[in-house]
Structure 1
Amino acid sequence: MRIAAIQSNPVIGDIARNAAMLAESIQAAVDNGADLVLASEMVITGYPPRDLLLRQGMVEAAEAAVSELAATFPATTMVIGSPRRVVDRSRPAANSAIICSNGGVTAACDKLLLPTYDIFNEDRWFSPGTGGCWFEHDGTRIGVLLCEDLWQARDVSVDRDYEISPAGQLIEAGCDLILTLSASPFIRGKLRTQLDLIGQFTRRCSTPLVCVNQVGGNDELVFPGGVIVSDGSGTRRVSPLWTPWTTLVDLASGTLEVTGGIDSAGRLQPGQFGDVPDDPMSEIYEALVLGIRDFVAKTGHSAVALGLSGGIDSALVATLAAAAVGPDSVLGILMPGPYSSSGSVDDAMELVGSTGIRHLKIPIDTAHQLVSSSISSQAGDVEGVADENIQARLRGLVLMAVANKEGSLVLATGNKSELAVGYCTLYGDMSGALSVLGDLLKTDAWSLARWINQNHEACGFDSPPIPINSIEKPPSAELRPDQCDQDSLPPYEQLDQVIRCWVEREMSVDAIADQLGMDMEQVRHWTGLIDRNEHKRNQAAVVLKISPRAFGSGRLMPIAARDSSANRDAGATTPRSDSGYEATRPV
């Protein structure tokens, strides 16, 4: 039996396009001897379709597309991920693996375990399946699992005690092979965990398994792709990550042998691929680049714009964008103001030269004087944070105006540390459609920049693209004389530990203080700032998710709230407009 496992990059909701691309991949697989095709979870609609599933005709269009594929390839058995209509259940649709053979749909295996943690909310749209599912093919009993049916939240830091084991049901049914359709988004370190979990499973049950994952960026989520095969000879990743690919696997006597792969251009490629990379910065780099590339393309844009300050964050975003969409499609805008140093301008221009991106220089001094004068004439002198934020917002205004003129998409450049404590300006440096570093802590931004410079050739650059001075100089907003981030914030090495504990691990103030050896009042202060700035994050650009707990759809926190368990002064937790630290470095 030759199995073709197809990792596709669907566009959410574009059923006609997704089905057409899948048909091309199926044809290439058939041309190379495949008689059983496995596609990823919800490949027809793309994952996650979210409330598009509620739109009249969406599910029916997906079902029609699967039926058409079945009719197009009558001699091929196919397992295709798609929603389908169900009746007499709690929800009108199921997340299903549709079995096609002999020119039609012959069965449907509905997902049993519907995740409702982090970014997942499948119980909102789907009814769970009613039992384990398998089918017969050439005398082989083949069991089918969909994503969480296999992982059961064991690949993430979430506690879930499911009452059933779908994989166990298939073993009890005597299945000779298990196929898994997955749409599992990237989280740092998760790829290794999944590989280990599959290995443990197949060693226990001695049943070969093939798992295929969706690839591509969809809004804040990035899917790495990848085909994993596991049998008595071991567990291995057998396809490249971060790109569409079809893996050809032969099953004989309970052993899986990878015979080759088909790339996105339909060309047959030999061999199988190596293990999951051990370098965490490598996978973070690939995830962010793919996330930018697909967000830009799938929103109908062809170019991006961002502010260049000469600092580490804007330099890193510009470099990632150049790798994602090409330097000619990246416009960096220098917007020096009254407190910008000549060194920062020089650093920004060095980045322009090393990456090859386009650039403009539009000073904001005159605009700042005019706005400050206009406000002062009616409301009195504008000083302090108010004046600093005028500068940040003028830069946001310039950036959006140029992007509107050119039809480009604006990338926000702030990092997770700043977004956490509100060290950012609404309608200023927070302006943009996509927050590239919004899930990357400041200390990790430095590490990623150094990694890119060390691996610049592999990243597509002739020389290290990020200026050393941008990495090594003390970070500064340059919104007032001699300003430094640490005037308002603790050292990032300390702040980032607090953010990891409070945001990513949901630890208590007491536990954080104890673990980090910090003063309790300090921890209360910084965690309080994180909570008070939820209103800013609710207005932020889409944040590319790379951590277990990113700001956005997977972390739903109230705005008008007081966490009495943290023992903070009640008045200090009252949100107000532009509360928290507003002054930021120029974008």
Structure 2
Amino acid sequence: MKIALAQFNSTVGDLNSNTNEIASFINSAREKGADLVVFPESALTGNPPEGLLDCPDFIKAGRAALNQIISSASGIGVLLSTKMISRKNNNHDHCAVLIENGSINGRLVLNEPGCLKFHGYTIALSVSKGSCEKEYLYARPDVYINLCAENYRFKKMADRVERYSGIACKYGIPFLHVNQVGGNGELVFDGSSMVFDEKGNLVILGKHFSEDLVIFDTDSSYQPLPIPKEDISWVYNALVLGFKDYFHKNGFTKTLLGLSGGIDSALVACIAADALGRENVLGVSMPSRYSSSHSRDDARQLAENLGVEYRVLPIEEPFAAYIRLMNGSNETIGDLAEENIQARIRGSLLMFISNREGRMLVATSNKSEAAVGYSTLYGDMCGGLAPIGDIPKTMVYELCNYINREKEIIPVNTIIKPPSAELRPDQLDQDSLPPYDVLDGIIEMNLDDNLSADEIVSKGYDRELVLKILNMIDRMEYKRRQAAPVLKITSDALIEHRKMPLVQRFRRS
């Protein structure tokens, strides 16, 4: 039996487009001689459909789209998963449907272990990332197919391969995983659909970060493939794909961002240019009395190197007006309010352009800043997307060096100079924060590894510093709740799994 894995980029809620894409993949699989074509979970609705499943009108339209696929499928089996067929206790059952010759010939609730029969083969099915249930053993399946859409996580590919290889070894049968590709909201799916032989060898691997159609023949033998090795290019490709789909699937084609001459905005500008095309990117420099000449030069040079539109809007006039209004003179006090109002002036200017020109503003804050609240509400946090909000500062440097691997796109000075918000004279980030390699180490151990303060200190970190950083992380929840959505690339901890109460008084000491 020839089984085709349809790795395609669905759009949540776009039933017409998804139906057409599914039909196109069915035709391609049929032309390639496949007996069965398999789609990743929730391919018809787009994944994840979330609250759309509670909308009666969407369910009605989805069932009509499913009937359209059923009526048009002929000469090939089609395996789809959907949550629109049955409902129990206000929960939508996740069902797999086996379509052939204009009708549903098999149906299986995927929340429970089970198998389907097709052309004399017994097929075990699941949508779980975990190991199989023992009940499959009694059915003696010939092949195992997993429909789970796994979103990308840096340095987790080897874990995925090991997990699925183990399942193939456990049952001694081929294991097939068909994955989704593309960005849907904050999630980015890498594709990389896989087939393992009965010995657990990886024998077929789909493309990374692009659509693909791969075919596995149960009667053929295959040579083992090497396990894919991730490097920083995978992160960059994930960010570009997630950025592109976030914009296009939301109906936007143009973006803008503040270009400060710093490394974060430089990285986001490069991602934007690769995702949308340089002609659709606007970089705006908004210098103040505290902006260094090299920052202005670096911002301009980056825009020239990328070929993006570049504008300069000095903020001295509105800043001076605030000082006169609030201080009663032209003299500055030098407090935090004067620093933050500069960021808020910039945010207002960017939102003015966004509204007038129909461009989505993107924020340029990174994960390290988001963790400890080193950003300004209604200032540099403004935007419809924070593409690097899940990227630690140390990884920002890695990505910028990757971008410059062949030629200088990001000015070298941007990469080597000490980072600064430039909101007061001679300001540096490390006036308020430890070196970023230290900060990122503490953040990772706390959020991703779930280590306690004592455990982090035992790794060689200063106790007073560790307590300060962990307390900052907890206190800054109110800022993170108001931040733009981020592309989830490194972990869910800061964004989802470790949400702190908005009102709480626990402090480590």
TM-score normalised over the length of structure 2: 0.95
Does residue 217 of structure 2 align to residue 250 of structure 1? yes
One-letter amino acid of the structure 1 residue matched with residue 434 of structure 2? P
| 8 Å CA contact retained: 2:390, 2:491 | no
Find the partner of 1:559 among 474, 478, 502.
502
Q: Distance in 2 between matches of 1:548 and 1:478?
A: 30
One-letter amino acid of the structure 1 residue matched with residue 202 of structure 2? T
Find the partner of 1:140 among 116, 121, 133.
121
Q: Distance in 2 between matches of 1:365 and 1:380?
A: 14
Q: Offset of 1:257 from its aligned partner?
A: 5.4
Q: Distance in 2 between matches of 1:280 and 1:140?
A: 39
User: What SS class does the counterpart of residue 331 from structure 1 fall into?
Assistant: strand
Q: Indicate the larger mover: 295-304 or 382-391.
A: 382-391
Find the partner of 1:536 among 468, 474, 479.
479
Does residue 127 of structure 2 align to residue 151 of structure 1? no
In structure 1, the partner of 2:309 is 358
Q: Distance in 2 between matches of 1:256 and 1:303?
A: 48
One-letter amino acid of the structure 2 residue matched with residue 62 of structure 1? G
In structure 1, the partner of 2:59 is 59
Q: Distance in 1 between matches of 2:331 and 2:282?
A: 37
Q: Distance in 1 between matches of 2:101 and 2:277?
A: 45
Q: Distance in 2 between matches of 1:562 and 1:380?
A: 37
In structure 1, the partner of 2:445 is 501
| 8 Å CA contact retained: 2:155, 2:230 | no
User: What SS class does the counterpart of residue 306 from structure 1 fall into?
Assistant: strand
| 8 Å CA contact retained: 1:417, 1:442 | yes
In structure 2, the partner of 1:49 is 49
Does residue 488 of structure 2 align to residue 545 of structure 1? yes
Does residue 151 of structure 2 align to residue 176 of structure 1? no
Find the partner of 2:180 among 209, 214, 226.
214
One-letter amino acid of the structure 2 residue matched with residue 66 of structure 1? L
Q: Distance in 2 between matches of 1:107 and 1:75?
A: 16
Does residue 233 of structure 2 align to residue 282 of structure 1? yes
User: What SS class does the counterpart of residue 489 from structure 2 fall into?
Assistant: coil
User: What SS class does the counterpart of residue 194 from structure 2 fall into?
Assistant: strand
Find the partner of 2:293 among 326, 342, 347.
342
| 8 Å CA contact retained: 1:239, 1:247 | yes
Report Cα offsets for 1:414-438 as digits up to 9, x if no partner: 1111111111000000011111111
Q: Distance in 2 between matches of 1:380 and 1:551?
A: 40
User: What SS class does the counterpart of residue 187 from structure 1 fall into?
Assistant: coil
Q: Indicate the larger mover: 133-142 or 530-539.
A: 133-142
Report Cα offsets for 1:347-387 as digits up to 9, x if no partner: 11111121111111111111111122122239996531100
User: What SS class does the counterpart of residue 83 from structure 2 fall into?
Assistant: strand
| 8 Å CA contact retained: 2:323, 2:329 | no
User: What SS class does the counterpart of residue 47 from structure 1 fall into?
Assistant: coil
| 8 Å CA contact retained: 2:202, 2:226 | no
Q: Offset of 1:169 from its aligned partner?
A: 2.5
In structure 2, the partner of 1:104 is 103
Q: Indicate the larger mover: 305-314 or 495-504.
A: 495-504
| 8 Å CA contact retained: 1:38, 1:79 | yes
**Aligned in 2, Cα 1:378/1:103: closer, same or farther, shift over 3 Å?**
farther
Does residue 384 of structure 2 align to residue 403 of structure 1? no
User: What SS class does the counterpart of residue 431 from structure 1 fall into?
Assistant: coil
Does residue 326 of structure 2 align to residue 372 of structure 1? no
In structure 1, the partner of 2:24 is 24
Q: Offset of 1:465 from its aligned partner?
A: 1.4
Does residue 178 of structure 2 align to residue 235 of structure 1? no
| 8 Å CA contact retained: 2:324, 2:330 | no
Q: Offset of 1:52 from its aligned partner?
A: 1.3
Q: Distance in 1 between matches of 2:370 and 2:218?
A: 50
User: What SS class does the counterpart of residue 551 from structure 1 fall into?
Assistant: helix
Report Cα offsets for 1:319-355 as digits up to 9, x if no partner: 1111111111111111111100110011111111211
User: What SS class does the counterpart of residue 151 from structure 1 fall into?
Assistant: coil
User: What SS class does the counterpart of residue 348 from structure 1 fall into?
Assistant: helix
Percent identity, please.
37
In structure 1, the partner of 2:431 is 487
In structure 1, the partner of 2:250 is 299
One-letter amino acid of the structure 2 residue matched with residue 10 of structure 1? S
Q: Offset of 1:563 from its aligned partner?
A: 2.7
User: What SS class does the counterpart of residue 314 from structure 1 fall into?
Assistant: helix
Q: Offset of 1:550 from its aligned partner?
A: 4.4
| 8 Å CA contact retained: 2:110, 2:125 | no
Does residue 465 of structure 2 align to residue 522 of structure 1? yes
In structure 2, the partner of 1:202 is 168
User: What SS class does the counterpart of residue 457 from structure 2 fall into?
Assistant: helix
| 8 Å CA contact retained: 2:202, 2:227 | no
User: What SS class does the counterpart of residue 300 from structure 2 fall into?
Assistant: helix
Q: Offset of 1:557 from its aligned partner?
A: 2.1
Q: Indicate the larger mover: 93-102 or 330-339.
A: 93-102
Q: Offset of 1:61 from its aligned partner?
A: 2.9
**Aligned in 2, Cα 1:250/1:242: closer, same or farther, shift over 3 Å?**
same
Q: Distance in 1 between matches of 2:52 and 2:329?
A: 49
Q: Distance in 2 between matches of 1:84 and 1:376?
A: 61
Q: Distance in 2 between matches of 1:19 and 1:556?
A: 37
In structure 2, the partner of 1:70 is 70
Does residue 289 of structure 2 align to residue 332 of structure 1? no
User: What SS class does the counterpart of residue 313 from structure 1 fall into?
Assistant: helix
In structure 2, the partner of 1:436 is 387
Does residue 255 of structure 2 align to residue 312 of structure 1? no
User: What SS class does the counterpart of residue 328 from structure 2 fall into?
Assistant: helix
Q: Offset of 1:533 from its aligned partner?
A: 0.8
Q: Distance in 2 between matches of 1:172 and 1:323?
A: 51
One-letter amino acid of the structure 1 residue matched with residue 457 of structure 2? A
| 8 Å CA contact retained: 2:320, 2:330 | no
| 8 Å CA contact retained: 1:85, 1:92 | no
**Aligned in 2, Cα 1:408/1:418: closer, same or farther, shift over 3 Å?**
same
TM-score normalised over the length of structure 1: 0.83
Q: In angstroms, what is the RMSD of aligned CA positions?
A: 2.0
Q: What does residue range 3-42 of structure 1 map to in structure 2 within 5 Å?
A: 3-42=3-42
Q: Distance in 2 between matches of 1:532 and 1:379?
A: 34
User: What SS class does the counterpart of residue 389 from structure 2 fall into?
Assistant: coil
Q: What does residue range 107-118 of structure 1 map to in structure 2 within 5 Å?
A: 107-112=106-111
User: What SS class does the counterpart of residue 25 from structure 1 fall into?
Assistant: helix
Q: Distance in 2 between matches of 1:498 and 1:180?
A: 36
User: What SS class does the counterpart of residue 80 from structure 1 fall into?
Assistant: strand
One-letter amino acid of the structure 1 residue matched with residue 72 of structure 2? T
Q: Offset of 1:30 from its aligned partner?
A: 1.1
Unaligned runs of 5+ residues in structure 1 are: 113-128, 153-164, 259-271, 457-462, 569-587
Unaligned runs of 5+ residues in structure 2 are: none
Q: Distance in 2 between matches of 1:547 and 1:434?
A: 16
Number of paired residues?
Answer: 508
Report Cα offsets for 1:44-82 as digits up to 9, x if no partner: 111111111111132343233222212101332111121
Q: Offset of 1:275 from its aligned partner?
A: 4.9
